[in-house]
Amino acid sequence: MKEECGVFGVFGCEDAAKLCYLGLYALQHRGQESAGIVSLDHHNFYVVKGMGLVSDAFNETNLAYLKGASAIGHVRYSTTGANHPNNIQPLYSHTSKGNIALSHNGNLTNALDLQNKLRLEGALFQSTVDSEVILHLISRSKETQIIQVLQETLKQIQGAFSLAFLGDSFLVAARDTFGFRPLVIGKLDTGYIVTSETCALDLIGATYVREVEPGEIVLIDKNGLTSARIPGPAKHALCVFEYVYFSRPDSIVFGESVHLVRKEFGKVLAKEYAIDADLVMSIPDSGNSAALGYSEESGIPFEIGMTRNHYVGRTFIQPEQKIRDFGVKIKLNPIASVLKGKRVVVVDDSLVRGTTSKQRVSAIRQAGAKEVHLRISSPPICFPCHFGIDTPKREKLIAAQKEIEEIRRYVGADSLGYLSLEGMLAAIKTHQPKEFCVGCFNGKYPLKVQNKGKFSVNSRKIKLYAEKN
Ligand code: AMP
């Protein structure tokens, strides 16, 4: 199971669900398959979930239903269990510790083992998302205080998790000991906000307080914030791909501006792969910051060589190949009057399968560019991610299958240069290289991935009819 997700939570703010709705809007880039909010007032939990974008899932009527001063929300994209409404988060359950709702960003690497064990002991799973094991473990805990319950629970799960829990009287934010995925705390009036990225704080006018530390559990209740640790060694493995592609450039992630880090990537790339050219352009929007850095460092002017139709979803994040190909064609259009007769440096953030890049290079050439020099502001992606970024299997990763020269020929560029791994890590000034997970580039994962094999009970899938809105 792979998840790309955004997590948002509100505690002690009037109209919590509306703030949550806005927060999810800001996190929409982290997942477009489904969205959900669970809110809480003095009497009840209220739940609204739907398939599609935040704007598809919510309307004035269902938002008005979400009463209370606390709420958590979630946006999700996954590659499995796609259209099953039970998989939409937040998940919620009547546990032995009270009602608990859960939003999870990340990917648990021992979920299958845990599910098998729990099933054999009689647990009934309602969804096929790995996150559900967390609710089962909470309910089984012999501890009584929520912090101890979570310490006991979270030390049993492995992999990547940035979590928000909403209970009868608390909001909890927790992050795995590696800190793979971001999670931050903000303040709004008398209340607190928890969010995957700071861009959501900006939108609702909340102030940034701090990151939830790797391995930290932060309990937010009527007494304020209480911090505790998940037992176990803290060896940081922050996901560098959050900087490369996944986070929004206006966010502060792992303490650094994503835009400025990307710009540095572009500068280093310009030093590593210099070329004589007339202009530097980006593949919008993910290549923008790095292209500016490349231009600044090389002295070659930056130009807008392509415009993007913003009303088309992110092409890569469409579940079916058919739709993805269609998306590429309608999304980006080269500006022929800029490109005609020019030697062009094209900067993009990453090459995954190479298919969209090939089409983009060919479109830039058709628009009249004399030379196309492709520059990628990350190293070759040769390995899948097991910690929450949706990357295809190795067979589909172009850099795992072909040499650089073959890739250049495949995408049809006159030259091709990837940012080196050392160059990328050196560009991130406030962290040591060893603090990052770079498993997608070098195959060295910070922990063993256990999710192998099948469910112990070999059953057919349960297919629910789901109305797509
Ligand atoms: P491709 O043509 O398959 O190599 O796709 C390259 C494009 O996919 C780049 O422009 C990236 O911005 C984008 N991309 C990279 N990683 C992801 C991801 N995990 N999800 C969605 N899009 C991605």
Q: Are residues 217 and 350 in the same domain?
A: no
User: Counting atoms of ligand 1 from 1, which one is nearest the CA of 351?
Assistant: 4
Instruction: Give the span between the Cα atoms of 367 and 337, in whole angstroms.
Output: 8
Instruction: State the CATH number of the domain containing residue 161.
Output: 3.60.20.10
316 CA to centre of ligand 1 in angstroms: 6
Mutate to test the pocket of ligand 1, among 29, 350, 381, 408 (most ligand atoms within 8 A of CB): 350
Percent of the chain scoring above 90 in pLDDT:
84
Nearest CA to ligand 1 atom 23: 316
Q: Which amino acid is at 436?
A: F
CA distance 206 to 13: 11
Q: pLDDT-based confidence at 86, cuts 50/70/90?
A: confident
Domain presence at residue 404? yes
Assess if residue 449 is contained within a domain.
no
Helices (H) and strands (E) in the chain, counts: 17, 23
Q: Name the strand (E) or helix (H) holding 415.
A: strand 415-418
Domain co-membership, 417 together with 268: yes
Q: How far apart are CA 291 and CA 280, in angstroms?
A: 7
Where is the domain boundary, 183, 206, 237? Answer: 237
Q: Look at residue 284 and tell me whether its pLDDT is greater than 60.
A: yes
CATH number of the domain within which 347 lies: 3.40.50.2020
Tell me how far apart the alpha carbons of residues 2 and 35 are, in angstroms, rounded to a whole number: 16
Cα(133)–Cα(329) distance, rounded to whole angstroms?
A: 40
DSSP state of 90: S
Domain carrying residue 212: 5-237
Q: Are residues 226 and 345 in the same domain?
A: no
Of residues 319 and 252, which shows the higher confidence score?
252
Which of 133, 253, 262 lies closest to 195, judged by CA? Answer: 253
Q: Using the 8-state DSSP alphabet, how is residue 462 labeled?
A: P
Separation of alpha carbons 322 and 92, rounded Å: 34
Candidate from 174-188, 275-289, 371-385, 443-457 with smallest mean pLDDT: 443-457
Whole-number Å distance, alpha carbon 111 to ligand 1 midpoint, is 27
Residue 255 inside a domain? The answer is no
Q: Which of 247, 352, 389 to mutate to test the pocket of ligand 1 (most atoms within 8 A of CB)?
A: 352
CA of 284 to the centre of ligand 1 (A): 12
Structure tokens at 289: 């910051």
Same domain assignment for residues 286 and 222? no
pLDDT bucket at 8, cuts 50 / 70 / 90: very high
The answer, yes or no, to whether residue 321 has pLDDT greater than 70, is no
**457 pLDDT band (50/70/90 cuts)?**
very low
Which has more pLDDT, 4 or 239? 239
Please name every residue paired with 8 in a beta bridge, in sequence order, or none if there are none.
73, 195
Residue 468 lies in a domain: no
Determine the residue of 245, 248, 348 to mutate for testing ligand 1's pocket, defined as the one with the most ligand atoms within 8 A of the Cβ atom.
245
Q: How many angstroms is it from 283 CA to the middle of ligand 1? A: 11
Pocket test for ligand 1, best of 181, 239, 247, 316 (most atoms within 8 A of CB): 316
Catalytically active residues are 5
* 3 state SS for 141-169: CCCCCHHHHHHHHHCCCCEEEEEEEEECC
pLDDT digits (tens, 9 = 90+) for 423-456: 999 999 999 999 999 999 999 999 988 765 444 4
Is residue 247 in some structural domain? no
Amino acid identity at 62: N
Which residue has a Cα nearest atom 3 of ligand 1? 353
Domain-ending residue, one of 202, 237, 272: 237
Work out which ligand 1 atom sits closest to the CA atom of 390.
Answer: 19
pLDDT of residue 258: 98
The residue whose C-alpha atom lies closest to atom 5 belonging to ligand 1 is: 352
Atom of ligand 1 nearest to the CA of 348: 10
Closest CA to 115 of 419, 454, 449, 365: 454
CA distance 206 to 191: 10
286 CA closest ligand 1 atom index: 12
13: in domain? yes
Asked if residue 89 belongs to a domain, the reply is yes
What percentage of the chain has pLDDT greater than the value 70? 90
* Same domain assignment for residues 93 and 184: yes
463 pLDDT higher than 80: no
Residues 297 and 342 in one domain: yes
| Spacing, Cα 27 to ligand 1 middle (Å) | 18
Which region among 127-136, 158-167, 208-217, 442-451 has the lowest average model confidence (pLDDT)? Answer: 442-451
Residue 342 main-chain phi, psi, to 5 deg: -100, 150
Verify that 264 and 356 share a domain, yes or no. yes
For residue 319, say if its preceding peptide bond is cis, omega within 30 degrees of 0: no
Neighbours of 335 (CB within 10 A): 16
- In sequence order, the 6+-apart residues with CB closer than 8 A to the CB of 368 are 336, 339, 340, 341, 342
pLDDT at 71: 98
Q: How far is the CA of 468 from the centre of ligand 1 (A)?
A: 26
- The reported pLDDT for the residue numbered 329 is 64
The b-or-e profile of 190-226 (16+ CB within 10 A means b, else e) is ebbbbbbbbbbbbbbebeebebbbbbbbbbbbeeeee
Instruction: Give residue-wise pLDDT tens across range 18-70.
Output: 999 999 999 999 998 999 999 999 999 999 999 999 999 999 999 999 999 99
Distance from C-alpha of 420 to C-alpha of 413, rounded to nearest angstrom: 19
What is the 277 CA–ligand 1 centroid distance (Å)? Answer: 25
- What is the C-alpha to C-alpha distance for residues 76 and 6, in angstroms, rounded to an integer? 7
Ligand 1, CB within 6 Å, residue ranges: 245, 283, 286, 314, 316-317, 348-357, 389-391
Model pLDDT, residue 82:
53
Do 288 and 295 meet the contact criterion of CB atoms below 8 Å apart?
no
For residues 265 and 230, membership in a common domain is answered with no
Q: What is the pLDDT of residue 326?
A: 57
**What separation in Å is there between the alpha carbon of 118 and the centre of ligand 1?**
36
Average pLDDT taken over every residue of the chain: 92
Instruction: Note whether residue 145 is domain-resident.
Output: yes
pLDDT at 469: 39
Q: Which among 401, 396, 399, 397 has a CA at the least distance from the CA of 419?
A: 399
Euclidean distance between the first and final Cα of the chain, in Å? 24
Please indicate, yes or no, whether residues 284 and 216 belong to a single structural domain of this protein.
no
Alpha helices in 232-344 (DSSP H): 241, 258-272, 288-298, 321-331, 336-339
Query: Do 364 and 414 sit in the same domain of this protein?
Result: yes
CA distances to 147, 228, 393, 429 from 173, rounded to whole Å, are 11, 11, 31, 27
Same domain, 336 and 233: no
- As a whole number, mean pLDDT of residues 252-272 equals 98
Residue 2 has pLDDT above 80, yes or no: no
Instruction: Give the total number of structural domains in the chain.
Output: 2
Atom of ligand 1 nearest to the CA of 389: 19
Average pLDDT over residues 272-277: 98
Verdict on whether the full-model pTM lies above 0.85: yes
Are residues 206 and 345 located together in one domain of the fold?
A: no
380: nearest Cα among 394, 390, 363, 362: 394
Return the residue whose CA atom lies nearest to atom 22 of ligand 1: 316
Own/partner pairs for 402-411, CB < 8 Å, 24+ apart?
Answer: 404/380, 407/351, 407/354, 407/380, 408/374, 410/354, 410/358, 411/351, 411/354, 411/357, 411/358, 411/361, 411/374
